[in-house]
Amino acid sequence: MRETQCPSESWCDSFTMADQVPSIELGNGGNMPYIGLGTFKTKDCEMRESLRVALECGYRHVDTATFYQNEDAIGEVLQEWLASGKVTREEVFITTKLPRIGNRAGDVARFLQKSLEKLRVSYVDLYLFHHPVGAIGKDDDDLSPVDSEGNSINDPDTDLESVWKAIEEQVDAGRARNIGLSNFNIVQIERILKVCRIRPANLQVEVHAYHQQRDLRALCHKHGISVCAFGPLGAPYMADGAGERPVLLEHPKVVSIANRLARTPAQVLLRFLIQLGMAVIPKSSNPDRIRQNFQVFDFELSTEDMSSLEDLDCGKEGKIFTMEFSKSHPECPF
């Protein structure tokens, strides 16, 4: 994996929406644009409109998952754009993910094929092992299985290594160009590295200024694994996630930098992570915010600004996505 240089001022001066977004070169081939459209909790008409807006303003990286239940809507829009010639398949980087109920070696190929059919493509650019905690659903549509008391029906026999080997086979079959992990911790990543034939190309994990995951990022850097940050704005749609801390977008340091640079707080937070070498997938269904979030390559944060934002790190206490369903499972990563 090789990261492209973060945009310099001279590069920024010539950047336009039509230019190619700088990207991270993945070890298994292909390039992941530094910014993509996050689609968690976005469905149906809202999803279709958000993706159309994103593609119009230059996004070429789309992140989804079986669990999000929006692959059909994304596939409709992608088909429109591909059929019209507005983009080619090679210009769009598509990520999707194996659901927890598919965390068995024999289920991987079936779930990826279902995703490809919904997305209306023959391959994805990145297929992620979405979560190390497996679950037992009553059928392929029971994506969050719970018992009569509302407790997650987890699969205690989840075998990470055998699932990874089945994911590797999807590269051999041509259904995935790159494969990676999501929500895995250091110990679990090291376990995969010991048995892998194809090294994970990417780790998608919660990273934002409150939760900077420095040790995890250092491990990924050591092994040539790129990092993609989900929740890069601190998940403002989970308003109580920050606890007693201010919502990240409203933190005085973030707002002060944004005001001085005549930028939005979101642009500052995204630029911060990009300058740390990570891809980001901000989620929004607001057309103006989708456009603003993309406009992060025509300015740079100073060394002082970067240091100020790095000081916001709260370590484990800054985590917002607690994923309570996983707490009783032997592979709980948190």
Q: Which residues are catalytic?
A: 68
Tokens (6 digits) for 215: 């040790």
Q: Name the pairing type of β-strands 124-129 and 176-182.
A: parallel
One-letter amino acid for residue 93 of the chain: F
CA-derived radius of gyration, the chain: 19
Q: Please give the backbone phi and psi of residue 31, each rounded to the nearest 5 degrees, phi first.
A: -130, 130
One-letter amino acid for residue 115 of the chain: S
CA dihedral 167, 172, 173, 177 (to 10 degrees): 80
CA atoms of 26 and 24, how far apart (whole Å): 6
Residue 6 · residue 27 · CB < 8 Å: no
CA 166 to chain centre: 21
One-letter amino acid for residue 85 of the chain: G
3-state SS, 238-280, equals: CCCCCCCCCCHHHCHHHHHHHHHHCCCHHHHHHHHHHHCCCEE
Edge-to-edge order in the sheet of strand 2-3: 2-3, 23-25, 31-33
One-letter amino acid for residue 245 of the chain: R
Looking from the CA of 68 toward its CB, the CA atoms found within 13 Å total 25
Measuring CA to CA, which residue among 224, 175, 164, 232 is closest to residue 198?
Answer: 164
Residue 61 · residue 281 · CB < 8 Å: yes
